[in-house]
Amino acid sequence: MLTLLIAIPLVAAVAILLGACAKKTALAAVAANLVLTLVLLVQNYGAPGYQATASTPLIPALGLSYSVGVDGLSLLMLLLTAIVGFAAVWVAPHPEKLERYPGLYYACLLFIIAGATGAFASLDLFFFYAFHELALIPTFLLIGIWGSGDRITAAWKVTIYLALGSFVLLIGLLALYFSIPEAARTFSIPALQTLAAAGSIPQTPWIYLTILLGFGVLISLFPFHTWAPQAYASAPAPAAMLHAGVLKKFGLYGLLRVGLPLMPQAAQHWTNLLLILLVGNILYVGLATIAQKRLDSMLGYSSVMHMGYIFLGIAAFNPIGLTGAALLIFAHGLSIAILFAITGFVRDRTGSLEFTKLGGLAKPMPFLGFTFGLAAFASVGLPGFANFPAEMSVFFGTFAHAGDGLAFSNFQVAGIAALWGLVISAVYMLRGYRAAFLGETGKRWVGLADLSFCARPAIIFLLAATMIAGFRPQLLVNLVKPTVKGILQNQTSLSAK
């Protein structure tokens, strides 16, 4: 079943490259994936342990096999992938409007979706890693061929940054693998988790640091974030939606799936470092976001900044913090996808995204103006959208770490710094919204067409998803509860020893 989920977009991509009708095939594939994911979700909702598993040994001598399976956390990620993937293909421009290689455009999108799906469904370290890398080249092509602005620099930067980050990660994972006694070595994630619970994985601090930095580059952790804003600003809208919304979350998922459960004690070693870096994400990048003069680069920076909150939840390392982090991964994925989709539509119509040139766009384009406003509110963290409960949980998780006596703990200091981030994000989002959509409508923009009716469902669909999660966060909390419990169990059983 999970293999099918990975295979559908791959087969569709190959079919498109061989000449099948691009848009219809791609839409059919992502729709099928969405339905399949929902079925999986309903079937395995709240079940403990890994479900729908399948495994084929590939290199027995190394303990390497192709194996897939899902638990609550991976279901959440698959759901995010399916929703954003569906919307991204929906809003992608009609093949006839693309000057060059229309088929390749859709094939690249499908490859990214397949890569993300594979990474989230894999239960083998090798495939978990390899599937993520599958998305690297499609991103390079999408930005390079169809990007806007300084697309050439952006494409090179994102590709080389991510390739290097991935290899650092690979070395970390290999070092982890070889630190285990020879007889027990395996790439299987469940087997590794059993080993970790039994205390058979050495908790070497520098190995965790390598893994953290590898994932950190992929997540755009400060100071390795400079690839992200540029790439997202230049990428075509569907690519930015998929990358910022889904693919970047791979690193966070990796920390929750591999980093923390396998090396909980080594992780403790670097908590203070992580706290410092994530405050850098929130405050430094946040201030940089305010300074942006274009809508697309403002969104690019904002997506980097929001990673700080997710890291905060992960650093807190308690049930409520981890749950908040998982929820925020989902919530941020949806809200940033809406924002990038709308930005893409605006760019198609105005040809420019500079704040000084835009203004009053909500008048000719009420639908885009209204939905952008909602998504901006979601991104800032207003109640009613998924981001609100998620960020709340993260902050509760952070403050639960009390200091000695009256003194603040490092967590609380970082939490307070991060709370200022909320103000910062309100400042730039509202300023951006005002500059682009409110105020006097420029003469050039008076006759602009609003979003066509056939493109609207994609935006409404994403908004509905984030609002459902916002009003009923419990649905998602129950989904990831068993996973979070598992992660923390390893920690407590290890500390007991």
| Site of interaction with other proteins (CB under 8 A) | 17, 58-62, 66, 100-101, 104, 126, 129-131, 133-134, 136-137, 140-141, 144-145, 152, 156, 159-160, 163-164, 167-168, 170-171, 174-175, 177-178
Smallest distance from other proteins to CB 103, Å: 9
The answer to whether 165 and 146 have CB atoms below 8 angstroms apart is no
The answer to whether 340 and 376 have CB atoms below 8 angstroms apart is no
The answer to whether 339 and 245 have CB atoms below 8 angstroms apart is no
Q: Closer to other proteins at the Cβ: 41 or 136?
A: 136
Bond into 223 cis (ω within 30): yes
Residue 291: CB atoms within 10 Å: 10
Smallest distance from other proteins to CB 26, Å: 18
Smallest distance from other proteins to CB 81, Å: 18
Short-list 115, 146, 136, 306, CA closest to 219: 306
Residue 444: CB atoms within 10 Å: 12
Q: Closer to other proteins at the Cβ: 130 or 287?
A: 130
Q: Closer to other proteins at the Cβ: 166 or 323?
A: 166
Q: Closer to other proteins at the Cβ: 100 or 497?
A: 100
Return all residues near 2 (Cβ < 8 A) that are at least 6 apart.
40, 52, 54, 68, 69, 70, 121
What is the Cα–Cα distance from 154 to 4, expressed in whole angstroms? 33
Q: Closer to other proteins at the Cβ: 39 or 164?
A: 164
Smallest distance from other proteins to CB 112, Å: 14
Q: Closer to other proteins at the Cβ: 173 or 307?
A: 173
Q: Closer to other proteins at the Cβ: 133 or 450?
A: 133
Q: Closer to other proteins at the Cβ: 27 or 134?
A: 134
Smallest distance from other proteins to CB 166, Å: 9
Smallest distance from other proteins to CB 408, Å: 38
Smallest distance from other proteins to CB 228, Å: 17
Short-list 248, 253, 186, CA closest to 487: 253
Q: Closer to other proteins at the Cβ: 187 or 309?
A: 187
Smallest distance from other proteins to CB 119, Å: 11
Cα distances from 159 to residues 207, 227, 231, in angstroms, run: 24, 9, 9
Smallest distance from other proteins to CB 77, Å: 19
Smallest distance from other proteins to CB 60, Å: 8
What is the Cα–Cα distance from 189 to 67, expressed in whole angstroms? 9
Q: Closer to other proteins at the Cβ: 58 or 426?
A: 58
Smallest distance from other proteins to CB 244, Å: 22
Smallest distance from other proteins to CB 118, Å: 10
Q: Closer to other proteins at the Cβ: 152 or 291?
A: 152
Q: Closer to other proteins at the Cβ: 152 or 460?
A: 152
